[in-house]
Structure 1
Amino acid sequence: MRTVAGSAKSIYKNRLSFVWDYKRDEAWFTDLSMRGLHLNRPGIIRYRFDYDPSVRYEYRMDYQDTMKAKQLEEFCDLYADAGWEYVGNCVNWRYFRRPYLEGETIELYSDKESIRSFYQKVQKTLGVVALVNLALLLVNSAHWISGWSGEGLIPTFIGALIVIQLFCTLLLGYGVLRFQKLIKLHAD
């Protein structure tokens, strides 16, 4: 398994995106590559790029559950056999690239069943994280309500935490619904 090595001309870019916009992220990486910026280290918000105007790549992202080193090596070798270079990973998202060919776009998943399976994997993860977050939200809400008459930083902190958890739970729920829509689009 070969990963992309860093160079002396690294540039960092920040971008907030959501998992249901992964296609937009792929297009962003591909567009930056056209301008000589090539993804070197993926991140949650901060990405590192190497500058090299002599090449251009097309990028794709794949979501896979946590893998042991040997499994990841075999997985990346499979992609390498199809012409994809492994760039790196972030939160179970695997980033790949291949030399850009004008007028030719290749998707990692091409048949309806594999696309649907991919969407279901991402949806399942979002759903589990949403449920865990909801459980924590309920526990924190119970603590906050029982300590409502108390003063100090702890009730204030728990109240702020509840607002953040509510927002995250709603956002994750929205992601589950977005992937459900994509799954239905690719139903037989």
Structure 2
Amino acid sequence: MVRTEKRWHSWMSWDYEKEERWLNELSAGGLHMTKGGAFRSEFERDDTVRYTYGLDYQGGLTKKNGKLDEYIELYREIGWEYVSTYAGIWHFFRRPWEPGETPKLYTDRESLVGHYRKIQRLMIVMLLLNAGIFCINMTNIVSRIDGAVRWGITGPLLVIYVGLFTLLGYGIMKIKGKIKKIDGE
């Protein structure tokens, strides 16, 4: 009988390598991912195998347009098994673990930089969209609500948005640093 276990986690897109390391450590202990998620993933216990995991960010891949099957086949041909997806943009792969080997989905500088730039572009778009939503919300609050009630709504909203903008800005800079590090090598 296969035991399914759920594990909670929290990773940011710019630190997806930490999630890969976490998955590899769990696999070394006999837990193997069956379903990925933003905060919770599902695993099966099997002490007889061990895998190396890789994550990839790819949007726009669907069964309907046939691109998902092509994408999965491309990685299958080079030895990676497709495990799961989260939100249709983060894809989880694995391959049998080999001692002393640390296989990566991206093996050349250009494709790794391209991968990081896709993640960075998404964060920039999210930052700009949220800035627009923030401006619309603030305009509506200021024009429609008076006095102390306005500040009761505006204060918490400002705190939330400042936190969100800070988080996204930090992520954008982290990815920029990774790109510079690769370009400097």
Is the pair's TM-score, using the shorter chain for normalization, greater than 0.5?
yes
What TM-score comes out, normalization by structure 1 length? 0.88
Correspondent of 1:160 among 145, 156, 163: 156
Distance across 1 between alignment mates of 2:152 and 2:48: 54
Q: Which runs of 4+ in 1 moved over 4 A?
A: 154-159
Give the drift of 1:145: 3.0
Aligned residue number for residue 16 of structure 1:
10
Alignment: residue pair count = 180
Q: Conserved in 2, the CA contact under 8 Å of 1:144 and 1:155?
A: no
What amino acid is the match of 1:182?
Answer: K
Kindly tell me: are residues 157 and 112 of structure 1, through their superposed partners in 2, closer, same or farther at Cα, counting changes over 3 Å? same
1:29 correspondence with 2:23: yes
* Unpaired segments ≥5 residues, structure 1: 1-6
TM-score (norm 2): 0.89
Percent of paired sites with the same residue: 34
Deviations 1:51-98 (A, max 9, x none): 111111100001111212110011001101111110111131110000
Deviations 1:151-185 (A, max 9, x none): 4xx87456534432331222111111111111111
Q: Residue 127 of structure 1 contacts residue 176 of structure 1 at CA under 8 Å; is this kept in 2?
A: yes
Whole-Å separation in 1 of the counterparts to 2:46 and 2:85: 21
Note the C-alpha offset of 1:139. Answer: 1.6
1:85–1:98 CA contact under 8 A, matched in 2 = yes
Cα RMSD after superposing both structures: 1.9
In the alignment, structure 2 segments of 5+ residues that lack a partner are none
1:183 aligns with 2:179: yes
Map Cα deviations across residues 110-163 of structure 1 (whole Å, 9 max, x no partner): 211111111101100111011101111122122233324164xx8745653443
